[in-house]
Amino acid sequence: MTLIKPFRELCAEHGIAVTHQRQVLYEVMQGMDGHPSPEEIYARVKRKIPSISLATVYKNIHLFVESGVLREVSLHHGSQRLEMNAEEHHHLVCSKCKSIEDIDESSLGALPKRRKLADGFLVERYSVDVIGICAKCQ
């Protein structure tokens, strides 16, 4: 469905420079499915550019995410955070400052919940992140 755009176009659109390392990194990542980690990506890129540095991989992944070329699975993947609100609720996550605010279910509107989903996944609960820009960051 989504047509594959050449890397140089993507870079132009997002205002970042094209380099050989970035091009290969991006293409290698496109060839991986699921949700790879920087280390896994590094291992693959190294096969194409053996001299590449892990730091360069991290730096460019970060650049891609910052500039919007690609996205990360969770905006709050750093250190562990404990949930002190026992009520059933969800979160407003600011994509700029990464702040996390509680929002209760009723403010979101009812979610259509199912106990059982395809391929036999047994549902315990839904956790919704509403991602956007908080009042302060606007």
The binding site for Mn ion (CB under 5 A) comprises 85, 102
Six token digits for residue 130: 């509403």
Cα atoms in the 13 Å half-sphere on the side-chain side of 73: 8
Q: Which of 99, 100, 90, 101 is nearest to 128 (CA)?
A: 90
> Hey, which residues between 67 and 96 contact Zn ion (CB under 5 A)?
94, 96
φ/ψ (deg, to 5) at 90: -130, -170
* Residue 54 binding result from a copy of itself, DNA, Mn ion, none, given CB thresholds of 5 to 8 Å by partner type: DNA
* Residue 111 binding result from DNA, a copy of itself, Mn ion, none, given CB thresholds of 5 to 8 Å by partner type: a copy of itself
Binding window for a copy of itself (CB under 8 A); candidates: 12-20, 48-56, 109-117: 109-117
Interface with a copy of itself (CB under 8 A), residue from 15, 17, 55, 138: 138
Instruction: Give residue 109's identity as a one-letter amino acid code.
Output: G
Six token digits for residue 126: 């839904």
* Residue 15 binding result from Zn ion, Mn ion, a copy of itself, none, given CB thresholds of 5 to 8 Å by partner type: none
**Cβ-based nearer residue to Mn ion, 19 or 30:** 30
Instruction: Give residue 54's identity as a one-letter amino acid code.
Output: L
Q: Are 36 and 42 in contact (CB under 8 A)?
A: no
x-or-dash string of contact with a copy of itself, 114-133, rule CB under 8 A: x--xxxxxxxxxxxxxxxxx
What pairs with residue 93 in β-bridges? 100, 131
Q: Which residues form the interface with Zn ion (CB under 5 A)? A: 94, 96-97, 134, 137
